[in-house]
């Protein structure tokens, strides 16, 4: 991917699930990768496997001092910072029954921490020009039964992306959101009993392409947004969601046929 080799990239939540694949893909394209993760052992193991162009930094992104340390360690090791991928995420969500603590935990992790990290890194990203990718979700664009805190946080990420793009553009920093559909990941594996075929079958009802997304496909989208191929793209949303949002409430079936007894050629007036 043009413009990735030699760049220095921070991936939050970069040691597990989709974040791990993001880290691996940026590294494979020639970037220096900084793996920010609360679980240092997993991050360190990944960094050691990837080699000299990888650095693990134990980071609780809800802690401002930890964010400052993350930026400083990145600069000390690689001499600059070009890209931030805000991937770390909280899934704490009990719908309408969510407590104030759960609301604040979700918003702090999913929205506030990413905003603060980018602002701390802004002077260094501006030397680039820099790029930011905020990992969003279809959940931020549609209502989902029984889920409140997570979708609201993902909707906030979409508007945060526009605000960042607006205010950072004069400094040469591009900011975009990647809107992911259902993607094979640790949460989906847990819910499905680690049965990918089952998860694909269920996802097929809601995605035009008939399956879950793959973490590699999310990573390819993030790589594009950070590359020179997207040099005129900012404040945008790249949808890597298999047609979920295009499908609509009628899904992929011929809804009109239910009225006509089989024919879908008669349009409602």
pLDDT tens for the chain, 269 residues: list them: 899 999 999 999 999 999 999 999 999 999 999 999 999 999 999 999 999 999 999 999 999 999 999 999 999 999 999 999 999 999 999 999 999 999 999 999 999 999 999 999 999 999 989 999 999 999 999 999 999 999 999 999 999 999 999 999 999 999 999 999 999 998 899 989 999 999 999 999 999 999 999 999 999 999 999 999 999 999 999 999 999 999 877 777 777 777 677 655 544 44
- 243 phi and psi angles, rounded to 5 deg: 85, 10
Phi-psi region of 248 (alpha: psi -120 to 50; beta: other; left: phi over 0): left
How many other C-beta atoms can be found within 10 angstroms of the C-beta atom of residue 172? 13
Residue 125 lies in a domain: yes
pLDDT for residue 230: 98
Q: Which domain holds residue 235?
A: 8-260
The b/e string for 113-137 (b: 16+ C-beta within 10 A; e otherwise) is bbbbbbebbbebbeebebbbbbbbb
Is 36 contained in some domain? yes
238 inside domain: yes
Q: How far is residue 249's CA from residue 247's CA, in Å, rounded to a whole number?
A: 7
54 inside domain: yes
Instruction: Please provide residue 137's backbone torsions phi and psi, each rounded to the nearest 5 degrees.
Output: -160, 155
Q: Which of 91, 150, 168, 244 is catalytic?
A: 150
Q: Is the pTM of this model over 0.75?
A: yes
Give the CA angle between residues 152, 187, 253 to the nearest 5°: 75
Query: What pLDDT shows up at residue 264?
Result: 52
Residue 250 falls within a domain, yes or no?
yes
Has 244 been annotated as catalytic? no
| pLDDT given for residue 133 in this prediction | 98
Look at residue 80 and tell me if it is in a domain: yes
How many domains is the chain partitioned into structurally? 1
Distance of CA 240 to the CA centre of its chain: 10
3-state secondary structure of 11: strand
DSSP H helices, the chain, are: 17-28, 40-50, 64-78, 100-107, 113-125, 149-168, 186-191, 196-203, 215-226, 244-247, 257-260
Q: Does any domain span residue 3?
A: no
Is residue 228, in this structure, part of any structural domain at all?
yes
The H or E element spanning position 178 is strand 174-180
CATH of the domain at 121: 3.40.50.720
């Amino acid at each position: 991917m043009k413009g990735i080799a030699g760049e220095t990239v921070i991936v939050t939540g970069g040691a597990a699930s989709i974040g791990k694949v993001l880290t691996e893909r940026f590294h494979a394209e020639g970037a220096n990768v900084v793996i920010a993760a609360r679980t240092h052992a997993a991050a360190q193991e990944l960094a050691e496997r990837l080699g000299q162009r990888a650095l693990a930094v134990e980071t609780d992104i809800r802690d401002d001092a930890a964010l400052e340390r993350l930026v400083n360690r990145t600069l000390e090791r690689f001499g600059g910072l070009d890209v931030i991928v805000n991937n770390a995420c909280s899934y704490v969500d009990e719908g309408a029954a969510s407590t104030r603590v759960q609301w604040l935990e979700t918003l702090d992790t999913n929205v506030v921490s990413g905003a603060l990290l980018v602002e701390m890194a802004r002077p260094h990203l501006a030397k680039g020009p820099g790029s930011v990718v905020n990992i969003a979700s279809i959940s931020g664009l549609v209502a989902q039964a029984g889920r409140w805190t997570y979708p609201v946080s993902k909707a906030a990420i979409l508007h945060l992306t526009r605000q960042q793009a607006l205010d950072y553009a004069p400094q040469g920093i591009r900011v975009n959101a990647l809107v992911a559909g259902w993607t094979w990941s640790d949460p989906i594996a847990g819910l499905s009993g680690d049965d990918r075929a089952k998860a694909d079958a269920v996802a097929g009802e809601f995605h035009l392409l008939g399956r879950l997304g793959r973490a590699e496909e999310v990573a390819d989208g993030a790589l594009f947004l950070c590359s020179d191929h997207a040099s005129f793209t900012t404040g945008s949303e790249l949808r890597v969601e298999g047609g979920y949002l295009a499908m609509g409430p009628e899904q992929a079936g011929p809804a009109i046929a239910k009225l006509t007894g089989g024919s879908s050629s008669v349009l409602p007036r």
